[in-house]
Amino acid sequence: MTLRVCIVDGYIDEPSGLGVPPYLDVYARYSAGAVWLADPRAEVLYLTVDQLRSDISGYLKMLSKLDAVIFIAGVTVPGSYLGGTPISFRELKTWSRLLPEPVKVLVGPVVSFGFGIEGGRAAIMPEELKRDFDYMFHFSFESGLYELALNCFKRGLSISTHERSPKLVAEAAVRGVKIVGQHPNYGFNLICEVETYWGCPRFIVGGCSFCVEPLYGEPKFRAIEHVVCEVKALYEAGVRNIRLGRQPDILAYQSKEVGVEEFPKPNVEAIRKLFEGIRAVAPALETLHIDNVNPGTIYHHKEESVEACKIIVENHTSGDVAALGVESADPNVVKSNNLKVYPEEALEAIRVINSVGSARGYNGLPHLLPGVNFVHGLKGETERTYEENLDFMKKVLEEGLMVRRVNIRQVMVFPNTPMWEVGDRIMKRNKRIFQAYKRRMRMEVDLPMIRRVLPTWSKLRGCYVEKHGGGGTYARQAGSYPVLVFLPYSRGLGEKIDVLVTSHGFRSVVGIETPISVNSAPRKMWESIPGLSRNTIELILKKRPFKNVEEFESIVTKSVADKLEVKL
Ligand code: SF4
């Protein structure tokens, strides 16, 4: 009898790993791979939580006939997402209860760290979900699922969840690749998160007070050939967007000083082999990006970090972001929470990344820019902390540096982290200050910064048109923290377009499709072009259809016409 299993992807967001569409994280791929390793004939289906919501009764009926349903869940860093809405605590409980027949397995960070509701609040403990699932796996979920599948997903087995096996991870990663074809974003803007290691090198000093990553224990690196093999399989399966995002610090990959030094020296040769190896097997990737970089690694090992960043820039695609967990520019908060860097050190890391990555690349964005993460509600935080963070970012602006985005989060508090003792009381106390500060950061830092990173008339290539809303249409490139583009008019979804930036929001740009179809472009599009007067717009609309481009250009001032790319 064929084993029939469905993976319901409720999405994850962890310090090192994102699985909200268009991202597909490793949990679903490795889970499918583990089942297929145990039973190559197994039928493994994949559904996102958003697909399930779109026809709950239909899908629950289908799921109820299967042998097993694997739910993936766990948002341990707060965020808001354009591409999907993570599964809620209530959905997880209710749906599981509505499926009495199949064996239900819960996989993901939720199993260890509970259910993160929102920033500034403590998580719901994992124990609250125990009664609703037959099995719950987190760290060694591949081996748990492999063993379960070998035993045809029988209930009541005693499954050992020993340490993750790099060999099983490597095999499951390659086997599970074929699940990508079932993802709703496949063939469009799907981006696969790829893991290079797990565990934070700062585990030796206990890690940052709020972070769950040190709970993975000593970092375990995946072999270069395992990562390259997986990328090759993904590429052959049609994936064109890859992010090496599953690790706390890409510069620490394969470092020989891990386990010895708090800030291990980058292993430049390993980073070279990794990136060049990926490029050799996946030459036409549309996106090859990274994610987290520990600013402390850059500060303590400047020369090696510059080398490593140069290798990344030589092999990646532009628009890449090195997300720096600065967390706080208040020295008291840095000290009280065992954070990575003091403000001057963080500033130096920002300078270094700018020195290597600020040149503009093919897709219209600088090659590699830092992103800055701040976390609020930490120990030692006072009103002064908010001022320090603003001052820090203003210094970045004044120095003429670029930062791709400033991420301001309220701490999510998880068990077994030092912040668990403190809970959410500091965040609650500072809630009002937080909102005002956030507004100031948006106005005084984000707006001038996005204008610097993407000035008016910049061209952004390859934006995927994703969603309608706000009286217009949203589009984004594929990548690490892609810039949100708002087209101030309605247009069809599901296409890839180039965009001309016409103005700026705090953290987004307003743009129009380019080249402009002069005979059919809607009025709202013309209205958003700077320098076009109302009279000219009326004239354009009245004179349509134009017989040729010259006819159109004859009624538009030269300074504007020079900026536009048009077609009939
Ligand atoms: S450096 Fe801090 S925030 Fe980053 S992964 Fe390690 S413990 Fe977490």
What is the tens place of the pLDDT at every residue in 530-565?
A: 999 999 999 999 999 999 999 999 999 999 999 999
Nearest protein Cα to ligand 1, atom 4: 248
Containing 270, the helix (H) or strand (E) segment is helix 268-281
**pLDDT tier at 474 (50, 70, 90 boundaries)?**
very high
- What are the pLDDT digits (tens) for 80-112? 789 999 999 999 999 999 999 999 999 998 998
pLDDT score recorded for residue 245: 93
Residue showing tokens 């998580």: 123
What is the span of the domain harbouring residue 146?
A: 4-166
Which residue among 453, 468, 492 closes a domain?
A: 453
- pLDDT > 80? residue 76: no
Of 50-64, 188-202, 267-281, 418-432, the one with minimum mean pLDDT is 418-432
Residue in 261, 262, 294 to alter for ligand 1 test, most ligand atoms within 8 A of Cβ:
294
- For the record, the structure tokens of 237 come out as 């399966």
Identify whether residues 507 and 361 lie together within a single domain.
no
Would you say residue 33 lies in a domain? yes
Identify whether residues 112 and 79 lie together within a single domain.
yes
pLDDT score recorded for residue 112: 85
* Residue 32: CATH number of its domain: 3.40.50
Mean pLDDT of 356-368: 97
State how far the alpha carbon of 281 is from the alpha carbons of 45, 238, 285, 311, in Å: 28, 13, 10, 17
Would you say residue 177 lies in a domain? no
Check if 200 has its Cβ closer than 6 Å to any atom of ligand 1. yes
How far is it, in rounded angstroms, from Cα 373 to Cα 355?
Answer: 20
- pLDDT > 90? residue 232: yes
Would you say residue 173 lies in a domain? no
- pLDDT > 90? residue 279: yes
Nearest one of 192, 130, 403, 387 to 293, comparing CA atoms: 403
Nearest one of 219, 176, 212, 215 to 194, comparing CA atoms: 176
Identify whether residues 126 and 218 lie together within a single domain.
no
pLDDT score recorded for residue 120: 56
Would you say residue 179 lies in a domain? no
Identify whether residues 395 and 464 lie together within a single domain.
no
Identify whether residues 375 and 253 lie together within a single domain.
yes
Three-state DSSP state, 477: coil
Q: Ligand 1, residue 296: give the atom nearest the CA.
A: 1
Residue pair 203/217 in contact by the 8 Å Cβ criterion: yes
Would you say residue 290 lies in a domain? yes
Which residue among 427, 453, 479 closes a domain?
A: 453
Cβ partners under 8 Å of residue 380, min gap 6: 330, 332, 333, 335, 336, 337
Identify whether residues 471 and 441 lie together within a single domain.
no
Instruction: Give the gyration radius of the chain's Cα atoms.
Output: 24
Would you say residue 233 lies in a domain? yes
Nearest protein Cα to ligand 1, atom 8: 211
- pLDDT > 60? residue 314: yes
Task: Quote the ligand 1 centre to 558 CA distance (angstroms).
Answer: 53
- What are the pLDDT digits (tens) for 8-52? 999 999 878 899 999 999 999 999 999 999 999 999 999 999 999
Residue showing tokens 């009624």: 555
Containing 525, the helix (H) or strand (E) segment is helix 523-527
Mean pLDDT of 275-286: 98
How far is it, in rounded angstroms, from Cα 486 to Cα 475?
Answer: 7
Identify whether residues 111 and 233 lie together within a single domain.
no
Identify whether residues 252 and 375 lie together within a single domain.
yes
Check if 211 has its Cβ closer than 6 Å to any atom of ligand 1. yes
- For the record, the structure tokens of 147 come out as 């063993």
pLDDT cut 90: percent of the chain above it:
88
Identify whether residues 443 and 558 lie together within a single domain.
no
- Average pLDDT over the chain reads 95
Identify whether residues 444 and 381 lie together within a single domain.
yes
Structural domain count, the chain? 3
- pLDDT > 80? residue 122: no
- pLDDT > 60? residue 136: yes
pLDDT score recorded for residue 217: 86
Would you say residue 219 lies in a domain? yes
Nearest one of 343, 344, 324, 342 to 248, comparing CA atoms: 324
Identify whether residues 162 and 196 lie together within a single domain.
no
Check if 340 has its Cβ closer than 6 Å to any atom of ligand 1. yes
Mean pLDDT of 276-301: 98
Q: Ligand 1, residue 248: give the atom nearest the CA.
A: 5
Q: Ligand 1, residue 212: give the atom nearest the CA.
A: 8
* Residue 415: CATH number of its domain: 3.80.30.20
Identify whether residues 197 and 238 lie together within a single domain.
yes
pTM for the predicted model, two decimal places? 0.95
Task: Quote the ligand 1 centre to 216 CA distance (angstroms).
Answer: 11
Which residue among 398, 427, 453 closes a domain?
A: 453
Of 118-132, 142-156, 249-263, 529-543, the one with minimum mean pLDDT is 118-132
- List the alpha helices (DSSP H) in 282-424: 295-300, 302-315, 331-336, 343-357, 383-398
Task: Quote the ligand 1 centre to 122 CA distance (angstroms).
Answer: 19
State how far the alpha carbon of 202 is from the alpha carbons of 206, 265, 314, in Å: 6, 13, 28
How far is it, in rounded angstroms, from Cα 529 to Cα 301?
Answer: 46
Nearest protein Cα to ligand 1, atom 6: 200
- pLDDT > 90? residue 323: yes
State how far the alpha carbon of 49 is from the alpha carbons of 5, 15, 117, 139, 189, in Å: 16, 21, 17, 22, 18
pLDDT score recorded for residue 212: 86
- List the alpha helices (DSSP H) in 39-189: 49-54, 56-64, 89-97, 110-113, 141-150, 166-175
